A and B are shown apart, each in its own frame.
With several copies, the nearest count.
Chain A
Amino acid sequence: MPATALPHALGAAAQALAASAPELNRLDGFAGDGDLGVTMTVVAEVAQEVLAREEADGTRLLSSLGAAIARRAPSTSGTLLATACLRASQALRDDQGAPVEVMLHCFSAALEGVMARGKAEPGDRTLVDGLNAICGSLERSVADGTSWPLALLEAAGAAQAMAEATSNMEPRKGRASWVPQRALGHPDAGCSMLAIGLQAAAQACQPLP
């Protein structure tokens, strides 16, 4: 994704997450504490503020966003999203490749940061699974030479598929891991959140037909 599209994509993701707050609360409520939507409402608000303030420099935008989320929405998902933004910002600064490659590098850096901070592995039914699916899809897009808007759309689809797949996975990290059976049959709240945000971002970036 070219840096100029980033504010647009982030704004769309924020709006979609705020709109899905009740659903995210509900999903987090099955095995967690039912507040993921509350956190995402704050994240969305913070994002709008940062977007209104910052220039369109992607690196600055992502680092400001990460810092603001860390300060204002320090729940598990908020802190990990903040880490993801900060790592992605760094990757963006160091990278001048083609859009889909840049996206892959940013998401890979985010995934690494989230794993280091949250100590979850793939298969633990956490954000790590969602980010992993996104990275896998972007890798394929790089290999296939897919255009960046389409790569984004496919990554959103992969995140959605992973969210659905988590329904059969037992949580092994976070609150949901205390009574893991309760989560079964419902998608992981954090993975659903990634899917919703990315789907909105991807839609916002599609060329007009």
Chain B
Amino acid sequence: MRKLINEPKSFVDEMLEGVLLAHPESLRSPARRVLVRADAPRQGKVAIVTGGGSGHLPLFMGYVGQGLADAVAVGDVFASPSAEQVLEATRAVDGGAGALYLYGNYSGDTMNFDLAAELAQLEGLETTTVLGADDVASAPPAEAARRRGVAGIAMLYKVAGAKAELGATLGQVVEVTERAAAGLRSMGVALSPCTVPAAGKPTFDLPEGEMELGMGIHGEPGVARGPLQSAADVGADLARRLVADLPYERGDEVAVLVNGLGATPVEELYVLFRTVHAVLAEHGVQVRRAWVGEYATSLEMAGASVSLMRLGPELLSLLEAPSRSPLLARW
């Protein structure tokens, strides 16, 4: 392992200590492994609660902030948080307007969030769930609901958070977030494995010079393995699959997120974006907004993913609304 850690066991808790020491003005912890916006609860505002495994920063914790989520339940590396944590998070940010549970579609997480939702209901706390399920590599279009959630959820936080900040009801926040999710597709490529600290060994083998197309952000197998292709070929392949999956029509507008999985330099992500932009132009799809950087990582995995969200007028303005989180804004 090439890791700056202490005991693997205490990795997540030490990380959280560091986060709280670094950002006391933005984040606080009302319960073990739960972080909330320092100004929570906000009376009358729909609360957005998220959570998931560690090892994906800035996902999930980084999306807690103004115009984004209100609370996060933090799991162990690549493992769901507990229902108890989700319930604590819900209690801590409840502003009387209900809560949106927004997280990625993984069975450990859905079981724990569902259980938390039942427990919250017993306490009179209303919740509705919207899942990130954007990875087209994880199931065919007909079974889109089975798909796992990857980096595209970053855009969902932005949409839901902005809508909630505007004073919308839970129903309205859910409606627009579901609409955004329905037009959201992602797919990635891995160039190296990653190592869960407590496991001590890479989750899978991926020799130098090979790549795995469609790999999940926890190292779940992808749809094809083969020799490493050029950025132009990889970018075109990913973009074409995403365009075909929705599918897009000429004249559609789109927001693009090119995400690094951890070890891939941001320079390479821009090279990849260049090709994605060209392929979209070929298909008559106009890029209205683009983000390039690390939005959802897989520890130190090398590789990248591309996410496309089809835009309507409300979605673009929500994506462009102000937001602020200490882990996303470097300054």
Contacts and interface: CB of A to CB of B under 8 A. Distances in A.
A–B contact (CB under 8 angstroms) = yes
Given A31-B220, A33-B220, A182-B221, A75 B80 contact: yes
Contact of A33 (B75, B216, B222): B216
Given A41-B198, A79-B112, A118-B107, A74 B82 contact: yes
Contact of B196 (A30, A32, A34, A78): A34
B200 to A, nearest CB: 9
A118 B146 contact: no
Contacts of B79: 35, 38-39, 73-75, 78
A99 interface: no
B82 A33 contact: no
B108 A74 contact: yes
Contacts, number: 105
A173 interface: yes
A179 B222 CA distance: 7
B81 A74 contact: yes
Contacts of A30: 221
Given A34-B203, A37-B199, A175-B148, A117 B111 contact: yes
B190 to A, nearest CB: 13
Contacts of A136: none
Interface string B44-80: 0000000000000000000000000000000111111
B107 A38 contact: no
Contact of B107 (A41, A173, A182): A173
B55 to A, nearest CB: 10
B80 A33 contact: no
Given A79-B112, A117-B111, A178 B220 contact: yes
Nearest to A70: B82
B211 interface: no
Given A25-B201, A178-B148, A35 B78 contact: yes
B199 A25 contact: yes
B137 interface: yes
- Mostly, the A contact residues are helix
B102 interface: no
B78 A175 contact: no
B223 interface: yes
A179 B108 contact: no
Contact of B137 (A75, A175, A178): A178
A150 B41 CA distance: 57
B112 A74 contact: yes
A76 interface: yes
Contacts of B203: 25, 29, 33-35
Interface string A115-156: 001100000000000000000000000000000000000000
Task: Give the interface centre of B78, B106, B221 by most chain A CB atoms within 10 Å.
Answer: B221
A177 B146 CA distance: 9
Given A179-B222, A179-B223, A33 B78 contact: yes
A178 B223 CA distance: 9
Given A76-B111, A117-B111, A179 B83 contact: no
Contacts of A179: 137-138, 214, 220-223
A38 B199 contact: yes
A70 B84 contact: yes
Nearest to B147: A178
A31 B221 contact: yes
A175 B217 CA distance: 11
Contacts of B220: 31-33, 175, 178-179
A30 B205 CA distance: 10
Contacts of B139: 178
Contacts of B84: 70-71
A3 B106 CA distance: 36
Interface in A1-57: 22, 25, 29-35, 37-39, 41-42
Contacts of B198: 35, 38, 41
Nearest to A173: B107
Nearest to A38: B198
A116 to B, nearest CB: 10
B146 A175 contact: no
Given A25-B199, A35-B199, A41-B198, A76 B137 contact: no
**The 10 nearest A-B residue pairs measured at CB:** A33-B218, A34-B203, A178-B138, A74-B82, A76-B108, A182-B221, A179-B221, A75-B79, A38-B198, A75-B108
Given A31-B221, A78-B79, A178-B148, 6 more contacts: A33-B218, A34-B219, A35-B196, A76-B80, A117-B115, A174-B107
